[in-house]
Structure 1
Amino acid sequence: MTVAVIGGGIVGRTIALALARAGERIVLVDPAGEAVPASWGNAGHIATEQVAPLASPATIRSLPRRLFALGGALDLPLSQANAWLPFGLRLIAAARPARFAAGTEALGSLLAEAMPAWRRLVGALGAPGLLREEGHFVAWERAASAAAGRAHWAGAETGTASFAPVCAADRARLDALSPHVADAIRFSGSGQIGDLDALAAALDRALDAAGVARIAQLATLTRAGRGVAIAAISADRIVVAAGTGSAAPMRMAGHRVPIIAERGYHVRAAADRWPADLPPVVFEDRSIIVTRYADSVQVAGFVEFGRADAPPDPRKWQRLERHAAALGLPIAGPFRRWMGARPTLPDYLPAIGRSTAADNLFYAFGHQHLGLTLAPVTAELLAAAMAGALPAIDLAPFAIERFGRIDA
């Protein structure tokens, strides 16, 4: 049996590796011309604490004050309203209390297994040092926002992660970073990837060692009897794991896929003055996260809803650079600038499972901010399902059929 996995991001690569190690013959199809996946430009944060889906009543209430035009991190470009308005209406429907509660339970089940799955993956890669489990900091610049932030996290569902006030040593380290930190907490149970480039290289070596063939081409699906096929590729089964590029092949199979490109931005600079052992720091007043990688420091933020192929907005890079300067962070230009599109579904749950429209079609996409966090556990669950085993977590809440079928 040959399995074609469509998608070269972290989800696609981990699925290809899991299936290859289970004895399948794998072809990894990385669509030619696709933008660099968000997998390789994200904050590197293993976000086990983000159990509550962002499709929530709290998100709806806070939307006006989070708008980019008012200094916030959320942008809804008017020129792309045809993309985000229908998505937004679906998000509002998904934020109803009952659906939010069900989504929290479902997402929590995945996140509870995220860190163990990461340990297994880096162990199998022979690169345990890629995973750092020192948690992360959340810092505030004002006493009022610190009090509100602490109250929020105290009442939030954080799964296997927990937090405590920073100790004196950690407070001194944060004060050395910025003179504007009024208060901070430190999470435990979360983590980070020490270097995304090294992770990609380790996965590539493992894929090569497992005999995974790789093809750079646009993956167009066509109907083939009760299943689907990819032009010029012989495959018995197909897995769609192409991030924002998953919509077209899934729609060809007959599924409704209300996915949107939730675009994020980052700037990177040399890490000369940033402590190598400091966990990621979230500056919550500014909705940014600062992460130290092997040879660089990255400042990331923004939620911009629209089209994946729309040109980037330079104002967002400029604002990130201004945030770093206003905080007095030990970061200096020149900055390298990047923008990537997170694949997001309206209920902020991923789509993982087997198609009911095509017998040989499986899928795993729509992981929003949690693609890096959930990639290894997603790969394990899908590999189990494809082998006919009962997955360790119920995949029913993640079925793409929750959005309906085009052919229904």
Structure 2
Amino acid sequence: MNASSQTLIIGGGVIGWNIALALQAAGHEVRLCDDGNRVTSASYGNAGHIATEQVDPLASMAVVRSAWKRWFVRGGALSLPPQGFGAWMPFSLRLLRAAQPARFTRGKAALSGLLTQAMPAWRRRVADIDAPDLLREDGHFVVWESAESAARGLRSWSSADTGTASLRPVTEDEMSQLSALTKRKIHGAIRFNGTAQISDTRRMLETLENRFVARGGAIVAARAVALVPGGVRLSDGTVAMADNVIVAAGIGSKPLLEQAGLKVPMIAERGYHIQSADHGWPSGFPPVVFEDRSMIVTGFERGLRAASFVEFNRPDAAPDPRKWARLRHHVGELGLPFTGAGDEWIGIRPTLPDYLPAIGKASNGLYYAFGHQHLGLTLGAVTGEIVAAMIQSGQGPQDFDLKRFQ
């Protein structure tokens, strides 16, 4: 591969920007196609959690068997709206096949290998962009609000494979700090080590973009609407040509790659958050997972965010205001230090049935990296390095090739 080749990346999320910077370091002339809607993306709206502990793909028989307990109508986070039936029913059948033991075991081995590299890759990235304070390696907490759920949760986590992360009971001082955050009694809590947080997702995206531009990268301010031989047709009617095209457009990757004859059985897995700019969360305090409520609360530089929900739906379906209402109910019932109702956000996690990403080569000059489900932020930096190596060698990682769905 010619190190000076021209490369066009479709997608300005955490995956796309990390690929762009990695390719610049390898000597490529890089342009990135992005429509500029940064705050609508999952790269912005996620919980900021570097989740190295999540080594088990969610496509597992254990998750399938317990799904009914997690339904939204029962107070849980899992939502299967009737209007999305045509999307989530075929996806669910594929997930059931992916959850079979042999395939789950292969998927876990592949995902574990990626997660082992996730934190070192993020350390390299924040050092490379001269923003080491973006990465807070302070772990996170998981808390329970009843003795029964605490005992059950502790048993489950103690027997779980958490990869490079470890967990321990909280200290008395940590329990005092956690108890000061909520008016509800905490009956049990653990602290994870080896996980991390991005200090502010908006600043992360801004910094990645600014470094890309400062190093000679160009931004194409348009949406990619079609792949054409040797390039991409854009929403402004022009065609951008390149030696290499990399599709890293999240849920938008599906229609583009299906034009190239690939099968992409991806669903819009939608999440919700509320965020308060004015709050009383302690500065620098790690994220807290309120496991009984399937909610994670994270303090960022620009606000306090409560996030939850796994809604399988069409990408263009209207938001469900009941989910923001439930987040506000949780925040109020817990007495968390939010001020006001909080800004509302909904975004899409691009999810494939086996809960593994798609990273590979579609044809000469056409590559892809998307479908990171809940782990897009976690795997952003390492995916950038993998794609840069793939472009150099012309060979992609077999475990994540879309051929597994063909």
Short-chain TM bin:
over 0.9
Report how far residue 295 of structure 1 moved.
Answer: 3.0
Once residues 187 and 26 of structure 1 are traced to their aligned partners in structure 2, the CA distance between those partners, rounded to angstroms, is 38
Aligned counterpart in structure 1 of residue 84 of structure 2, from 65, 80, 84: 80
Greater shift, 34-43 or 309-318, is seen at 34-43
Judge conservation of contact 2:10–2:16 (CA < 8 Å) in 1. Answer: yes
Which residues of 2 match residues 8-407 of structure 1 at below 5 A? 8-31=12-35, 36-178=40-182, 179-224=184-229, 228-231=230-233, 232-355=239-362, 358-388=363-393, 395-404=397-406
Change (3 A) 1:153 1:246: same
- For structure 2, which runs of at least 5 residues remain unmatched after alignment? 234-238
Please state whether the residue corresponding to 1:72 is helix, strand or coil: coil
Q: What amino acid is the match of 2:47?
A: A
Change (3 A) 1:261 1:237: same
Q: What amino acid is the match of 1:119?
A: R
Greater shift, 382-391 or 22-31, is seen at 382-391
User: Alignment RMSD, CA only?
Assistant: 1.5
Please state whether the residue corresponding to 2:355 is helix, strand or coil: coil
Q: What amino acid is the match of 2:27?
A: G
Change (3 A) 1:173 1:35: closer
Q: Counterpart of 1:6?
A: 10
Q: What amino acid is the match of 1:184?
A: A
Report how far residue 319 of structure 1 moved.
Answer: 0.2
Report how far residue 261 of structure 1 moved.
Answer: 0.6
Report how far residue 123 of structure 1 moved.
Answer: 0.3
Once residues 160 and 196 of structure 2 are traced to their aligned partners in structure 1, the CA distance between those partners, rounded to angstroms, is 19
Judge conservation of contact 1:31–1:216 (CA < 8 Å) in 2. Answer: yes
Judge conservation of contact 1:6–1:31 (CA < 8 Å) in 2. Answer: no
For residues 168-198 of structure 1, the C-alpha deviation after alignment (integer angstroms, 9 at most, x for no partner) is 1100001101232110000000000001121
State the TM-score, normalized to the length of structure 1.
Answer: 0.94
Greater shift, 267-276 or 252-261, is seen at 267-276
Report how far residue 34 of structure 1 moved.
Answer: 9.1
Once residues 378 and 29 of structure 2 are traced to their aligned partners in structure 1, the CA distance between those partners, rounded to angstroms, is 26
Once residues 342 and 171 of structure 2 are traced to their aligned partners in structure 1, the CA distance between those partners, rounded to angstroms, is 32
Please state whether the residue corresponding to 1:233 is helix, strand or coil: strand
Report how far residue 223 of structure 1 moved.
Answer: 4.8
Report how far residue 340 of structure 1 moved.
Answer: 0.4
Report how far residue 147 of structure 1 moved.
Answer: 1.1
Once residues 156 and 217 of structure 1 are traced to their aligned partners in structure 2, the CA distance between those partners, rounded to angstroms, is 44
Judge conservation of contact 1:297–1:331 (CA < 8 Å) in 2. Answer: yes
Q: What amino acid is the match of 2:218?
A: A
Greater shift, 381-390 or 172-181, is seen at 381-390
Once residues 36 and 122 of structure 1 are traced to their aligned partners in structure 2, the CA distance between those partners, rounded to angstroms, is 23
Please state whether the residue corresponding to 1:160 is helix, strand or coil: coil
Please state whether the residue corresponding to 2:224 is helix, strand or coil: coil
Number of residue pairs the alignment of both structures matches: 396
Report how far residue 218 of structure 1 moved.
Answer: 2.5
Once residues 295 and 399 of structure 1 are traced to their aligned partners in structure 2, the CA distance between those partners, rounded to angstroms, is 37
Report how far residue 220 of structure 1 moved.
Answer: 3.1
Please state whether the residue corresponding to 2:346 is helix, strand or coil: strand
Please state whether the residue corresponding to 1:104 is helix, strand or coil: helix
Report how far residue 32 of structure 1 moved.
Answer: 7.0
Please state whether the residue corresponding to 1:220 is helix, strand or coil: strand
Q: What amino acid is the match of 1:186?
A: R
Report how far residue 20 of structure 1 moved.
Answer: 1.4
Report how far residue 289 of structure 1 moved.
Answer: 0.1
For residues 115-174 of structure 1, the C-alpha deviation after alignment (integer angstroms, 9 at most, x for no partner) is 000000000110000100000000000111111111111121110001000011100001
Judge conservation of contact 1:32–1:218 (CA < 8 Å) in 2. Answer: no
